[in-house]
Structure 1
């Protein structure tokens, strides 16, 4: 198995950027599995897992590493061809990727508002002076974190030095990686969005 596979096929790049099939591809990264084993692990219909497994195989990202003999047709066992797939910037379908990100944010917001209706009324606008005559600062934030069950929604603006901003960025990345490692099995799918972005100066 290769460590890194650079994806240059437009179809494979588009499928990776689209994201819908990634949960199925993920089943074959660390362990070789049959389609049924992947379906059992995901708790998904066999036909759906079969479709995505065959799709990733056709795109060249999965390979058959074993055929288990039985009466009739042998059972194929799949694994990813690499531990990391990398799509160069020039091969990314940028508009599709941006549309997917916008759709994900809409889905996340709609799901949160349905589960926690007070989110719709939780945003607070703060306008204040930090001591410089003739200037004001504005913040849009949720007045505290809105939480219920396994839902948490909050955003805020904060003034950070460049060093602290990088430190926070690294902490968020570590948090992401840690929970991606734990996010396996048949548990419900959750969307988590982490971001830190410098804002233009007023």
Structure 2
């Protein structure tokens, strides 16, 4: 049996395009499992996992291994029909290849933004000392017009120059920068190295049951002049 099974059947493809169905199938990859144990491992509702298992079974992605006898109904044990699966873009209903990961990325971004707002609110209330937080419009030291948020009375400099807000384990920078292609490649390599180092540390912590969960969002992409204009970065307005 091939280590990777191509999936082109429409019913199976639609299941694998759903995040929760993929999670459930993952609980049966290269192992045998029951519905109840899978639900416990995934921390999902038992009924929801049972529905996904039946759908995956009917789509030919799971198979029944055996039934273990016990008092009452026997326990059914399942496993995935292959160690891994591949869904070619041509078999999906996605409009573009990037859309295959759009749903997962949107869920991550939504969680990141909600967690960031929650953490920022907590840090602000802990550290503000009664100082107001608000929106500012001003001309910076280099003559650029800037719009940002800060404490009332904070020095009129951009957070990228000096952060003057609540301090804690929170970082959510969004930057528009100008680089040469060589500089951009250097940044890309640095970020990749950071990601690899953090991935190795995560594997160690997961094996040892140590560490705490954090979300990290990194990105670098070139934009067109028109896309740059859409950002409406007032701070890039020339001085008059």
State which drifts further: 6-15 or 101-110: 101-110
Q: How does 1:32-111 map to 2 (within 5 A)?
A: 32-71=32-71, 73-94=73-94, 97=100, 98=102, 101-102=105-106, 104-111=108-115
Structure 1 length-normalised TM: 0.64
Aligned-residue CA RMSD in angstroms? 4.3
Aligned to 1:116, the other structure's residue is in SS state helix
Structure 2 length-normalised TM: 0.55
Task: Say which structure, 1 or 2, has more relative contact order (CA 8 Å, 6+ apart).
Answer: 1
When you count strand as a share of all residues, which structure comes out higher? 1
> Counterpart in 2 of 1:112?
116
> Counterpart in 2 of 1:154?
172
Q: How does 1:2-13 map to 2 (within 5 A)?
A: 2-13=2-13
| Paired residue total | 184
Where does structure 2 lack aligned partners over 5 or more consecutive residues?
A: 125-132, 149-157, 208-212, 226-240
Q: For each residue in 1:36-72, what CA deviation from the matched residue of structure 2 results, as whole angstroms up to 9, or x when unmatched? A: 1212323433212211222222222222222223355
Q: 1:5: Cα distance to partner?
A: 1.3
Structure number, greater radius of gyration: 2
Q: 1:88: Cα distance to partner?
A: 0.9
> Counterpart in 2 of 1:29?
29
Q: How does 1:172-187 map to 2 (within 5 A)?
A: 172=195, 175=198, 179=202
Where does structure 1 lack aligned partners over 5 or more consecutive residues?
A: 130-135, 185-189
